[in-house]
Amino acid sequence: MASTEPFKNVLLLPQTNQLLGLFTIIRDKTTSRSDFIFYSDRIIRLLVEEGLNHLPVEKKSVDTHTNEVFEGVGFKGKICGVSIVRAGESMEQGLRDCCRSVRIGKILIQRDEETALPKLYYEKLPEDISDRFVFLLDPMLATGGSAIMATDVLIKRGVKPERIFFLNLICSKEGIDNYHSAHPDVKIVTGVIDRGLNEDRYLVPGLGDFGDRYYCI
Ligand code: URA
């Protein structure tokens, strides 16, 4: 079953019945594509909100319509999203829904046919990305190979690891360990930690190929 044991730098969504219900729908192989999109989007929204909970704030006072002063906070710093194409693009709208006019970059990594290793094919990132908090978007953290390479790209562009939040719906302990052995200071924001991987490197119990279910079938 899903793990709830704490890991360092892993922000696991509260395992509520509501979240369990959402995962039950998207894991069900009979779920239609439109329901898969709708309920995945709800989980994505929760992941984005959880990531935002961990951004720094500073004190800010405002005058209210009752001529009182409200002592609140304002967000400190700028953020951007970076999606790992294609499946990560499914998470862009959830980020836009929470952060108006947010800049979003893209990274395309695919398996090299000859070496079977992940290879960087394309990157398009905001010029000032090194000044921003980055929400790295990829729905499934299985082995972590693509996410490690995408994070390498961000760090080469000057982003500090502690300013990166890697958002995924489902991960495995193996994926967390692999990813954190390369990038221990990045925070992983995840919906659930699955049992492991099968021989085809799919998460189990998982939900199959997220990109295919969101975009194709
Ligand atoms: N990517 C997917 O879409 N599904 C998995 O189970 C693992 C990686």
Give me the residue spans of the domains in the chain: 10-215
Residues marked active site are found at 111, 115, 209, 212
Supply the DSSP symbol for 14.
Answer: P
pLDDT band at 115; cut points 50, 70, 90: confident
Ligand 1: list residues with CB < 6 Å.
87, 140, 142, 202-203, 206, 209-211
Span 127-178, pLDDT tens digits = 999 999 999 999 999 999 999 999 999 999 999 999 999 999 999 999 999 9
In this predicted structure, what is the pLDDT of residue 3? Answer: 64
More confident residue, 3 or 88: 88
- Best of 90, 138, 140 for a ligand 1 pocket test (most atoms within 8 Å of beta carbon): 140
SS3 26: helix
Angle at 194 between CA 190 and CA 196, to 5 degrees: 130
The pLDDT of 73-92, averaged and rounded, is 96
Taking the centre of ligand 1 as the mean of its atom positions, its distance from the CA of residue 102, in whole angstroms, is 27
- Judged against a pLDDT cut of 60, whether residue 1 lies above it is answered with no
The residue among 32, 8, 16, 12 whose CA lies nearest residue 193 is 12
Beta-carbon-side half-sphere exposure of residue 182 (alpha carbons within 13 Å): 18
In this predicted structure, what is the pLDDT of residue 126? Answer: 97
- Judged against a pLDDT cut of 90, whether residue 24 lies above it is answered with yes
Cβ contact 13:191 at 8 Å = yes
Cβ contact 82:106 at 8 Å = yes
The per-residue b/e assignment along 173-185, b for 16 or more CB within 10 angstroms, e otherwise, is bbbbebbbebbee
The pLDDT of 91-105, averaged and rounded, is 97
ipTM higher than threshold 0.90? yes
Q: Is the dihedral of CA 189, 186, 170, 1 positive or negative?
A: negative
Q: What is the topology classification, in CATH, of domain 10-215?
A: Rossmann fold (3.40.50)
